Amino acid sequence: MKFILNKILPKSEFSRNTFTLTLGTSIAQFFPLIFYPVLGRIFTPVEFGLLATLTSITGILAVLATGKYDQGVLITDSKKEAANLVGLTLLLSFVVLAVSFIVLQLFSNQFAGWFNEPQLKNWLWVPPLNAFVIIVFNCFNEWCVRHKYFTTLSWNKITNAAAHTLGKLFFGLLKVTGNGLVAGDLLGRTYSAGTCVYRAWGKDKDVFSGVSVKQFKALSKKYIDFPKYTLPDQLINSIGISIPVLFIGAYFNSTEVGYYSMTMQILSLPISVISRAVRDVFRQRANEDYMNHGNCISIYKRLLLRLTLLGAIATVAVIAVLPWLFAFVLGQQWEIAGRYSQILLPMMTVNFIAMSLSGVFIVVRKMKISMYWQMYYTAITIVSLLVGFFIFKTVTATLICFAVGRGSAYLLYIFLSYKYSKGNMSYEN
């Protein structure tokens, strides 16, 4: 892979790194893209709805458990400090998730009732386990970004996508569990987290061998801004992401949750191919520019223009044929999801641009501002969903209100990240 990249993009380190991650993420997305037609025919919308509900709970736990100390790995002063911060994050996560596991088991019936999903009570042991392996995966990906291990990061993404897609397929074909989607997702994520640790250990065994619990207290104080500001920020974000799934389940039914979940998964596939790769490389480059020049506006503006053009062209090209495409690829039962995707695609395009450039707030240490934005993001999501349900009373109208409200939040995010990418400049370069 390195030989190929050197031949194709030999001059620009940023371009090589972006291309490496784009290539790796593209290959990673190949697996779900190929197997979704099979999964869409093996599993029902109701089963996808259950997985979406569990994933929403998992996402909230994965943010809460870390204290968001994992986000500090990128800006640590040394490799040794970064390794100890990874250790602190994993220890804290284990303790928090152990407690959450007990709470979820004690109140499983109540949770099932709140979310209008009777099967949920049998699967509430999954979110804490899934959250921990996701945290492990994320920690070591942050390690790769900090040390420019972009080829390793690409392999991590490929392994992750392949493992949990093939896991779902395996359990779906064999019918050995009550819900093969849930079991396959857990097995795949566990495997990918293990391989991620294996690769990191192989590269930096000596550094990780020196991790000491004695260092954790000092590091927890040094990076206290992450639990103070980034944790509330990301927790609100995670709740905001989960609210549509939980809201649709509570006020409509699990079948509609399944349609919404499939819509978001399919729309996210092409978006994540580029946005995650650009985000990871952009954060590293923006951090260097900010440390050297006090701003990262130059790289920000170039990427903003390119991403806007790409997003606009892609949206216009596919929006009209989405219902037909969903039915053709996934089966006729998913045509409704295709109609929902027409409503949500413009919002997802703006999301693609905003999240590709989302590293600015951490680079310029504006976590508090990001937290305030997350409050608006979550509030407008709740308000738009409530307006859709209580005034218009249909799923379609609710999704339209949701898309408009959340789209406004992403536009605000782009404006703020542009503003802060200038650093302390009084003019633009």
d(CA 345, CA 363): 29
| pTM of the predicted protein model | 0.76
Six token digits for residue 244: 């549509």
Write the secondary structure of 361-421 as one string of H (helix), E (strand) and C (coil).
Answer: HHHCCCHHHHHHHHHHHHHHHHHHHHHHHHHHCCHHHHHHHHHHHHHHHHHHHHHHHHHHH
Distances (CA, A) of 135 to 58, 59, 140, 173: 11, 10, 9, 29
Provide the pLDDT for residue 1.
46
Q: How many CA atoms lie within 13 A of 65 on its CB side?
A: 31
d(CA 389, CA 214): 52
**Among residues 153, 101, 140, 143, which one has the least CA distance to residue 124?**
101
Six token digits for residue 361: 């707030």
Provide the pLDDT for residue 425.
54
Task: Give me the phi and psi of 44, to 5 degrees please.
Answer: -90, 165
Q: Report CA 25 to chain centroid distance, whole Å.
A: 13
Six token digits for residue 226: 């992450």
Distances (CA, A) of 64 to 89, 99, 125, 135, 367: 11, 12, 17, 11, 16
For every one of its 429 residues, what pLDDT tens digit does the chain have, with 9 covering 90 and above? 455 545 555 456 666 666 666 666 667 666 777 888 888 888 888 888 888 899 989 999 999 998 888 888 888 888 888 888 889 999 999 999 999 999 999 998 888 888 778 888 889 999 999 999 999 988 888 888 787 777 777 777 788 878 878 888 888 887 766 678 888 889 888 888 888 888 888 888 888 888 888 889 888 888 888 888 778 877 877 888 888 998 998 888 888 999 999 999 888 877 776 776 777 777 777 777 777 877 878 888 888 888 899 889 989 999 999 999 999 988 888 999 999 999 999 999 999 999 888 878 877 777 778 778 888 988 999 999 999 999 988 999 999 999 999 999 999 999 998 888 887 654 343
Six token digits for residue 39: 């999964």
**Chain segment 307-316, per-residue pLDDT in tens:** 899 889 989 9
Give the burial string for 263-296 (b: 16+ CB within 10 Å, else e): bbbbbbbbbbbbbbbbbbbbbbbbbebbeeeebb
Q: What is the DSSP letter of 178?
A: S
Q: Tell me how crowded residue 160 is: count the other CB atoms within 10 A of its CB.
A: 23
d(CA 389, CA 393): 4
**Chain segment 48-74, per-residue pLDDT in tens:** 888 889 998 999 999 999 888 888 888
Provide the pLDDT for residue 78.
85
Distances (CA, A) of 303 to 145, 273, 388: 19, 15, 35
